A and B are shown apart, each in its own frame.
Chain A
Amino acid sequence: MKAVTRQTFIAGLAVTAFSLASGAALAQGPAKPGSPAPAFSIVDVDGRTQKLSDYAGKTVILEWTNHDCPYVRKHYNSATMQTLQKDMAKEGIVWLSVISSPAGEQGHVDAAKAKELTKSRDAAPATILLDPKSVMARAYGAQTTPHMYIIDPKGTLAYAGAIDDKPSASASSLAGARSYVRQAVAEMKAGKPVSEPATKAYGCAVKYAPVS
């Protein structure tokens, strides 16, 4: 990774071309609350193409995940994540889990395994987006698993950051943790501005696919 090899140069060209072509916020740094959420068009575990525009008029939550990451395991083993997913579904919110680990990296799963994980963990996302080329992760600047994003019904990013205020992998940290996601959703529901629209996400690094 020292010198600019031919390969990375070509990769760089490709990225530039792609971002120009799509006109999206790709490679422009992380998505920021208050600005339009980066568009995406990505295949889910059922083979359907999911686009952000499909959910215009609805609130969407994105959850970057990696089932083997200890921080993700903290939230799933305690059922905190599943409870949050179910509560958000009751609010009429669309919950999309995103898996950006490329093949060969921790957290990478195929559609069948992703579904099996949902079943065995009693999780309740609307669906799971498979992003093995980490394109969506780059568009959003996802750093950690979990990394949470809330997109309001107009397509504006309302929240980006941590799931709660206790950056720890220890189950004991769940006690007394303040859920930034619940807080933001409650404020949105009450018609108030989100008081903490951006926080520092914590967790394992998102395993990015090399740009190719």
Chain B
Amino acid sequence: MSTLDMPARNGFSLLKRAALALALLTPATAWAAESTAVTSPRVVATLLSSRDAVAPGERFHLALAHKITAGWHTYWRNPGDSGEPTKIDWQLPEGATAGPIQWPAPKAIAFEPLVNFGFDGTVLLPVEISVPAEAKPGERFAITAKATWLVCEKICIPEEGVLSLDLPIAAEPVIDSAAQARIARTLAGLPQEAPFRAKLTANGPDKMTLAIPELPAGISELRYFPLSDTLIEHAAAQQVEGGTLTLARSSAFRIAEPSVEGVITYSQGGTKRALSLSADVAPDLLAQASAPPAPPPVVTLPTLPAPPAEDLTIWVALAFAFAGGLILNLMPCVLPVLFIKALGFAQAAQASRSEVRVHGLLFLAGVVGTFMVLAGLAIALGAGWGFQLQSPPLVILLAVLMSLIGFNLLGAFEIGGKVQGLGDGLASRGGPVGAFMTGALAVVVATPCTAPFMGAAMGYALTQPPAAALSIFLALALGFALPVVALSFAPGLQRLLPKPGPWMVVLKQGFAFPMFATAIWLVWVATMQTGANGALAALIAILVAGFAVWLLGVTRRRGAALRVVAAGLAALFVTTTAAFVIESAVPPKQAPASAGASDVWSPERVAELQAQGKPVFVNFTAAWCITCLANERVALSRQDVKDAFAALGVTYLKADWTNRNAAIAAALAEHGRAGVPLYLVYPGSKGAQAEVLPQLLTVDIIVRAAERAAGREVQTARNP
């Protein structure tokens, strides 16, 4: 259920509603210097200005006006036994300042056996605004007050309102006489500074005496309201004898300063009066009040074994990394490479078992070595996992590699023994170097993929000391290499493989298509990073690489001179193209303009929105991050989420890590992550910490988190 659409209480008759509706209409039309009202069945809130136009260098009063439905009340600065004071956050033009709320004297509102200090009926909370001397006549003076207040009858409803005024600046102030008169009346009624000081002394262990000198004679209904909520028992009767009050000490009795501030109210000849009163605290009372009251006897709790830590431990991270590595074998870009390697074993097994074992170990060395190099770079550069995909030339190189593997699988060319160093080993003919390079190649083609479990392990690894981080990468490498190594060592497993035959050719060709799909995706990533030129560079690179390989292929069995010419040509083409790629595939200086409703993230933007009281959802993502794209598709882009964000006033910001960005890397590190995705939900209050959402999102997770950040619930199709 929502507290915001609480039905009006029983006594709220149609007539009263009609009267309220009229009251609502009136201010908007009667006074220019009053904001549009924010209304609930309990409170009509407006911002009232004593000026229709402000002058440079002047000070004037605004007031937050609350018209409170009968039976309900809002709270004073010390709310009494329960409740919460009204607060206002101001947004003012540069150089302008707002003073504190000038609190009227409260009423004691009893809910036996408790008492609240607050206001009912209509209350104005004045605030002094100063206009900077540099304000220019003719320009506007825009004021926004974000006010929050708790309104209670017996039940309590937290409410808020954003109230705005946009006043002209003129050489001379233009006074709004009606508003000025209302605010002036409130100011005149504020508690005046008493021309004397009172004295607060101890009176037994539970009570205090407040001695007020020079009170006029013949007053009645004297009551003391301390500003601190830990001084007196608010509901206890205050015994009055002349100018002294006997007060019960608060159950949370605490005095921080030798002087306590408060307000006294009394009635004099039928008129309510209020004074603001400072009281000197007797030293013995102060000593009692600053020491914790009567420390209870020390009792040791029976200790139980500590509960297991809920965070990822190194062992869990290692297990996750190993499992992630194992699953990585099934990724579409990796599986073909490994499957064909496995078939190679099956063929070679007929030749020599020991050679197969050596190849298995070399493959392992290739995998581990490559992982360690990548991990070392990621750690040393503090760059995070996936960093290699932030470099457009590297992305394009991967796209070329994927395409070549695809062409190779299709049989468009064959890689001879002499160029095996390029990453051969797809078929059986790879020698020792080939086996090592297959391992390296498998890792390289695996890098764009993140298997389940891997994200958590990687994130943990990169927040650990290098030794722990490297061991996690090692676990990942071992998991990744396990199937192939196991195969090379277990003849029993090798026998399970189908007998080599013509069907292998068909399968090999079929496997080309996942490789092409990966290449297409990488070209798209490069396009996202650099624009259309990046796409062109990538496609030209693929073309040239294909041409160079073909050239080498067709001249392979020809004369030496022809081969040298072909190799020279191929090298020329490749180097020229590489230079072209490096030159043209450059990320744009400016981040590309964001599409749609999503705004661009920056730490400053988050702080600014929070200061305005707006909750913020930040999506740290990248075009090369498949998990990110999946989350965007299944959760973030759903209408339910958009509706909830709109209803809760949540601002959606996107931090795109497709290209290198130090600020984003820093924000990721701050939240213990090495890479994207990262989802943060900031509550709408200055400096409040963000909640970190899981790496796999659902509509429900997002909406609930947004509700927590906004501090209220929203109705969605899923949560009627």
Contact = CB atoms under 8 A, between A and B. Distances in A.
A195 interface: yes
Mostly helix, strand, loop or mixed at chain A's interface?
loop
Interface string A140-171: 01011000000011101110110000011111
B301 A185 contact: yes
B393 interface: no
Contact of B152 (A141, A171, A204): A204
B293 A33 contact: yes
B532 interface: no
A126 to B, nearest CB: 15
B304 A29 contact: no
Which of B684, B685, B710 has most A Cβ within 10 Å? B685
B206 interface: yes
A120 interface: no
B296 A158 contact: yes
Interface residues of B, number: 57
Contacts of B293: 32-34, 197-198
A62 to B, nearest CB: 14
Nearest to B153: A106
B300 interface: yes
B314 interface: no
A118 interface: no
Interface in A166-206: 167-173, 175-176, 185, 188-189, 191-206
A105 interface: yes
Interface in B693-707: 707
A77 B708 contact: yes
A122 interface: no
B407 interface: no
Contact of B233 (A30, A73, A199, A206): A30
Nearest to A160: B251
A153 B303 CA distance: 13
A55 interface: no
Interface residues of A, number: 68
Nearest to A30: B251
B232 to A, nearest CB: 11
A165 to B, nearest CB: 12
Interface stretch (A16-24, A38-46, A86-94): A86-94
A172 B114 contact: no
A109 B710 CA distance: 27
A212 interface: no
Nearest to B297: A156
B709 interface: yes
B301 A74 contact: no
Nearest to B683: A172
A156 B154 contact: no
Contacts of A197: 292-296
B507 interface: no
A32 B302 CA distance: 24
A143 B82 contact: yes
B331 interface: no
A65 interface: no
Contact of B294 (A34, A141, A173, A176): A34
A189 B82 CA distance: 30
Interface string B290-334: 001111111111111001000000000000000000000000000
Nearest to A194: B296
A192 B83 CA distance: 32
Interface string A33-73: 11100000000000000000000001100000000111101
B299 A200 contact: no
A193 B292 CA distance: 10
Interface stretch (B155-163, B181-189, B666-674): B155-163
B83 A175 contact: no
Contacts of B709: 171-172
Interface string B224-253: 000001100100100000000000101111
A117 B110 CA distance: 30
A120 B323 CA distance: 34
25 contacts: A29-B233, A70-B156, A74-B711, A77-B713, A78-B708, A90-B304, A105-B154, A144-B81, A153-B299, A154-B299, A156-B296, A157-B296, A169-B150, A171-B711, A172-B683, A172-B684, A172-B685, A185-B301, A191-B298, A198-B252, A198-B292, A200-B229, A202-B82, A204-B83, A208-B111
Interface of A: 1, 29-35, 58-59, 68-71, 73-74, 77-78, 87, 90-93, 105-106, 138, 141, 143-144, 152-154, 156-158, 160-161, 167-173, 175-176, 185, 188-189, 191-208, 210
What are the nearest 6 A-B pairs in CB distance? Answer: A172-B683, A34-B294, A205-B82, A171-B711, A172-B685, A193-B295
Given A29-B206, A152-B297, 12 more contacts: A34-B295, A59-B299, A69-B155, A70-B156, A70-B157, A154-B299, A170-B158, A170-B711, A193-B296, A198-B252, A198-B254, A207-B154
